[in-house]
A = this chain, B = another copy of it.
């Protein structure tokens, strides 16, 4: 096992060996094995956005097995999905790659400014499906945030006792902040901090913009001259905000966009010390060959094989 993986594991000294072994499994699988970098395939859009919006652009994706196979072929560190999608392939692909069971999800058939996801799986489901980690989304700035914090607290305690790792998607959204604020540097850094304080081993946030949402924060950023001009600088600040880099922070790809723009973003994450990307739509909405090529290039950037 590489020095880097050992170093990262040393940050989790309160966890039992089972949880640490599962963190190691995530870091030792795929093309980035041993580097301490991550590219994870998440496919919860079927639940979150509906099937046509998710899979019509590349119809093989309607089949749950497609995503297992894509993640394996691409050499991702792990595949993350809700209960149904994992149940539909976990037997056939048993032992082929680390799995993350997403334990809460929101659908888009009921609107509202304050997201409030449903619990859609359990820690015992994760064990019976052979998962290495549970995943959970919190929405800081939502009126329902405290309910989510309480849920992940209890689920994380159980998962840690049973030797699983805990991945928290931390997406500020809701009536507490503006739309622009959802990706503001102060808000994203804060979201990373909250997830870490709730006991997450791995935190997923969105790439931050240079916008600063909160007045009280703005004063500090200006007074302390925190560098936030480039994406790399902002990522560095977010990583620092995640226990000074002692928690794994990965970044979402967000909506499908221009491939060159994504590579630039990945370079920024890498240069700022981010641990990797979790790329859903930009992977599975492309034709398979194109997706594999795309993910290979992303991994090459993280592995230092490409600029």
Is B196's CB under 8 angstroms from A84's CB?
Answer: yes
Which chain B residues border A240 with CB–CB below 8 Å? 51, 59, 62
Which chain B residues border A42 with CB–CB below 8 Å? none
Which chain B residues border A5 with CB–CB below 8 Å? 95
A116 within 8 A of B: yes
Is A157's CB under 8 angstroms from B198's CB?
Answer: no
CB distance from A81 to the nearest CB of B (A): 8
User: Which residues of chain A from 57 to 108 have a CB within 8 Å of any chain B CB?
Assistant: 57, 59-60, 62-64, 66, 82-92, 94-96, 105, 107-108
The CA-CA distance from A207 to B175 in the complex, in Å, is 33
Can you report 21 residue pairs joining A to B where beta carbons are below 8 Å apart?
Answer: A1-B96, A13-B90, A16-B130, A17-B129, A50-B190, A50-B193, A52-B241, A60-B244, A62-B243, A63-B246, A64-B243, A84-B196, A84-B247, A85-B243, A108-B190, A109-B187, A118-B145, A127-B163, A128-B161, A128-B163, A161-B161
Which chain B residues border A191 with CB–CB below 8 Å? 109
Report how many residues on chain A are interfacial, defined by Cβ distance under 8 Å: 115
A291 within 8 A of B: no
